[in-house]
Structure 1
Amino acid sequence: MSLEIRIATSADAVDACTVLRRSIVECCAPDHRHDPAILEAWLGNKTPQMVACWFTSPNNFALVAVDAGVVVGVALLTRAGKLALCYLLPEAQRRGAGTALVEQLETQAKLWGIKALQLHSTTSGQAFFVKQGYTEAGNVRSPYGVETIFCWKALDPSCLVAGDPQVDPKRKRFCNCNGA
């Protein structure tokens, strides 16, 4: 794999949209269970026009993973500290692209002064995010009808206090230290 991670541009929107849609349909089947209503809701905003808007928003930082000239992954961080997207083509999984995307988003979050990241993981992505150091903090139903796992990760050691799962795994508590 000749992997390149770079900032996404609106010119990447069509290819990134393909990554999102294929990843959801093919890799997240255990989550949507091929339910047409769930798929329609989940894929509804995954259009090239919407993806281009996400990429150009000053409130977002978006990356693409490119292998041999092909976009194989897409990830997006919001200024609010949410890792909103992290999707790979099925054939790009378990080859380092996801880890590289998350690491670069975390670096950007630190540059923005974000102390902790949060995300809603599918069960399909759960093991990946745990491996990246994210702590599970309960289940949340998505607007499109999929049960997700709320996860977070402290980027600043001041977020780690007694009772936090990264210090005390028996107690689950979300660090909300990004607030003003």
Structure 2
Amino acid sequence: MKQLVISSINYNLSSAIDLLNAIDSTTYQNSSVGPYYSSIGSHIRHTLDFFDCIISGLDSNNIDLTARKRDEILSTDKESAIHHIYQLQETLLSYIDTNTDYLIHVTDNLGQGKVTVNYTLESILAHANSHAVHHYATIGYILNRLGVEIKIPGFGYNPTTPVSKREGI
């Protein structure tokens, strides 16, 4: 199962690379679309932060999703983001043969303060993947509002969305 989870994540991360290769830096950095005025770069950085928290906390068995690095270079420099994604994909592949028969403590703020819950490696990675897809959907909205048309099949759609409705951007 872990191999399928990691393969799915790496597929979605490769879609992000396809997107970044298809847009220019101005589009990547554009924060003119309301109501949140966030850029594609800020959404990419945010999704990478989520994965980085997992990697950073795995050895200590304490993943803190509130301790994001928020590296602004990833928000503004798409080449740095692409490089970071490649590194992340390699790291994820190294987890395929890792023993994960234990619970991992994951801390997040759900709106009323920090709470720590138990996950498996597979479940936190699946959560991170769904989180990325959610942000990809927002990126699709930003691209639409900017009038930028790119075709990446399935980008921003949950795999459970009926195929007839899952066009991608």
Q: TM-score, normalised by structure 2?
A: 0.24
Greater per-residue helix proportion: 2
**Is the strand fraction higher in 1 or 2?**
1
Whose relative contact order is higher, 1 or 2, with alpha carbons under 8 Å and at least 6 apart?
2
